[in-house]
Amino acid sequence: MRITQGCFSFLPDLDDAQITAQIEYILSKEWSVGIEFTDEPHPRNTYWEMWGNPMFDLKDAKGVMIELDDCRKAHGEKYIRINAFDNARGWETVMMSFIVNRPETEPSFRSWRQEVDGRSIRYTHELVG
Protein backbone atom coordinates (compact mmCIF):
# COMPACT_ATOMS: atom_id res chain seq x y z
CA MET A 1 0.00 0.00 0.00
CA ARG A 2 1.38 3.37 -0.98
CA ILE A 3 2.16 5.43 2.09
CA THR A 4 0.86 8.97 1.81
CA GLN A 5 2.51 11.35 4.23
CA GLY A 6 3.64 14.94 3.84
CA CYS A 7 3.61 17.01 0.68
CA PHE A 8 3.29 15.57 -2.81
CA SER A 9 2.54 12.06 -1.57
CA PHE A 10 -0.49 11.68 -3.84
CA LEU A 11 1.64 12.58 -6.85
CA PRO A 12 3.97 10.21 -8.66
CA ASP A 13 7.37 10.02 -6.94
CA LEU A 14 9.53 13.08 -7.51
CA ASP A 15 12.64 12.57 -9.59
CA ASP A 16 15.97 14.08 -8.61
CA ALA A 17 15.50 17.20 -10.72
CA GLN A 18 12.14 17.83 -9.04
CA ILE A 19 13.59 17.19 -5.58
CA THR A 20 16.38 19.63 -6.39
CA ALA A 21 13.83 22.24 -7.42
CA GLN A 22 11.89 21.75 -4.17
CA ILE A 23 15.10 22.12 -2.15
CA GLU A 24 15.93 25.29 -4.06
CA TYR A 25 12.55 26.60 -2.97
CA ILE A 26 13.25 25.61 0.64
CA LEU A 27 16.64 27.34 0.56
CA SER A 28 15.10 30.44 -1.02
CA LYS A 29 12.90 30.66 2.09
CA GLU A 30 16.01 30.33 4.28
CA TRP A 31 14.69 27.22 5.98
CA SER A 32 17.11 24.59 7.14
CA VAL A 33 16.99 21.11 5.68
CA GLY A 34 17.02 17.78 7.46
CA ILE A 35 17.08 14.28 6.04
CA GLU A 36 15.36 11.49 7.96
CA PHE A 37 14.77 7.80 7.32
CA THR A 38 12.75 4.99 8.81
CA ASP A 39 11.63 1.45 8.14
CA GLU A 40 8.43 2.01 10.07
CA PRO A 41 6.12 4.43 8.28
CA HIS A 42 3.26 4.13 10.76
CA PRO A 43 1.44 7.50 10.91
CA ARG A 44 1.95 7.59 14.68
CA ASN A 45 5.71 7.19 14.25
CA THR A 46 6.55 10.89 14.05
CA TYR A 47 10.19 10.61 14.97
CA TRP A 48 12.25 9.16 12.17
CA GLU A 49 16.01 8.60 12.39
CA MET A 50 18.10 11.60 11.42
CA TRP A 51 20.66 11.25 8.67
CA GLY A 52 23.52 13.42 9.89
CA ASN A 53 22.89 16.87 11.25
CA PRO A 54 20.35 19.33 9.91
CA MET A 55 21.89 21.54 7.26
CA PHE A 56 22.01 25.26 7.89
CA ASP A 57 23.28 28.09 5.69
CA LEU A 58 23.35 26.15 2.45
CA LYS A 59 23.22 28.18 -0.74
CA ASP A 60 22.66 25.43 -3.26
CA ALA A 61 20.54 22.28 -3.37
CA LYS A 62 23.53 20.21 -4.41
CA GLY A 63 24.71 20.04 -0.79
CA VAL A 64 21.46 18.33 0.21
CA MET A 65 21.48 16.07 -2.83
CA ILE A 66 24.94 14.77 -1.89
CA GLU A 67 23.64 13.82 1.54
CA LEU A 68 20.50 12.33 0.06
CA ASP A 69 22.57 10.15 -2.28
CA ASP A 70 24.68 8.99 0.67
CA CYS A 71 21.55 8.24 2.66
CA ARG A 72 20.06 6.29 -0.25
CA LYS A 73 23.25 4.27 -0.51
CA ALA A 74 23.03 3.33 3.14
CA HIS A 75 19.23 3.04 3.50
CA GLY A 76 17.92 2.53 -0.01
CA GLU A 77 15.32 0.03 1.16
CA LYS A 78 13.78 2.39 3.68
CA TYR A 79 11.61 5.49 3.62
CA ILE A 80 13.57 8.74 3.38
CA ARG A 81 12.01 12.15 3.77
CA ILE A 82 13.24 15.71 3.60
CA ASN A 83 12.11 18.19 6.23
CA ALA A 84 12.36 21.96 5.96
CA PHE A 85 12.48 23.78 9.26
CA ASP A 86 11.69 27.45 9.66
CA ASN A 87 13.38 28.96 12.70
CA ALA A 88 11.64 32.33 12.36
CA ARG A 89 10.11 33.44 15.62
CA GLY A 90 6.42 32.61 15.69
CA TRP A 91 6.85 29.63 13.37
CA GLU A 92 9.70 27.54 14.70
CA THR A 93 8.33 24.46 13.05
CA VAL A 94 8.65 22.12 10.12
CA MET A 95 7.19 23.98 7.13
CA MET A 96 7.50 21.27 4.56
CA SER A 97 8.11 17.55 4.60
CA PHE A 98 8.08 15.13 1.73
CA ILE A 99 9.07 11.55 1.02
CA VAL A 100 11.94 11.14 -1.41
CA ASN A 101 12.59 7.41 -1.19
CA ARG A 102 10.38 4.34 -0.74
CA PRO A 103 11.14 0.65 -0.45
CA GLU A 104 10.40 -1.62 -3.40
CA THR A 105 7.45 -3.21 -1.66
CA GLU A 106 5.59 -1.05 0.79
CA PRO A 107 3.90 -2.44 3.88
CA SER A 108 0.18 -2.21 4.38
CA PHE A 109 -2.01 -1.66 7.44
CA ARG A 110 -4.55 -3.77 9.21
CA SER A 111 -7.24 -2.16 11.38
CA TRP A 112 -8.30 -3.77 14.64
CA ARG A 113 -11.67 -3.03 16.13
CA GLN A 114 -12.04 -3.50 19.85
CA GLU A 115 -15.06 -3.13 22.10
CA VAL A 116 -14.29 -1.37 25.39
CA ASP A 117 -16.19 0.29 28.24
CA GLY A 118 -19.51 -1.19 27.39
CA ARG A 119 -20.21 -0.65 23.72
CA SER A 120 -17.52 1.95 22.84
CA ILE A 121 -15.34 1.04 19.89
CA ARG A 122 -11.58 1.56 19.66
CA TYR A 123 -9.60 1.27 16.51
CA THR A 124 -5.95 0.59 16.18
CA HIS A 125 -3.84 0.29 13.03
CA GLU A 126 -1.13 -2.23 12.71
CA LEU A 127 1.64 -2.33 10.14
CA VAL A 128 1.84 -5.63 8.30
CA GLY A 129 4.65 -6.82 6.02
Partner 1 sequence: MDEAGERARPARIDLKAEYESSGVREVLDELEAELIGLAPVKRRIRETAALLLVDRARREMGLAHETPTLHMSFTGNPGTGKTTVALKMAGLLHRLGYVRKGHLVSVTRDDLVGQYIGHTAPKTKEVLKKAMGGVLFIDEAYYLYKPDNERDYGQEAIEILLQVMENNRDDLVVIMAGYADRMDRFFSANPGFRSRIAHHIEFPDYTDAELGRISGAMLGAQGYRFDAAGRAAMDDYVRLRRGQPHFANARSIRNALDRARLRQANRLFEHDGPVDAETLSTISEADIRASRVFSGGLDIDGSRRRDEP
Binding residues for partner 1, rule: CB under 8 A, are 52, 55, 57-64, 66-67
Listed in order, strand segments (DSSP E) in 5-128 are 32-38, 49-50, 79-86, 93-101, 108-116, 120-128
Q: Which is nearer to partner 1, 16 or 126 (CB)?
A: 16
Q: Which is nearer to partner 1, 17 or 121 (CB)?
A: 17
Q: Which is nearer to partner 1, 43 or 52 (CB)?
A: 52
Q: How far is the CB of 65 from partner 1 (least distance, A)?
A: 9
Q: How far is the CB of 59 from partner 1 (least distance, A)?
A: 5
Q: In 10 A of CB 13, how many CB atoms? A: 13
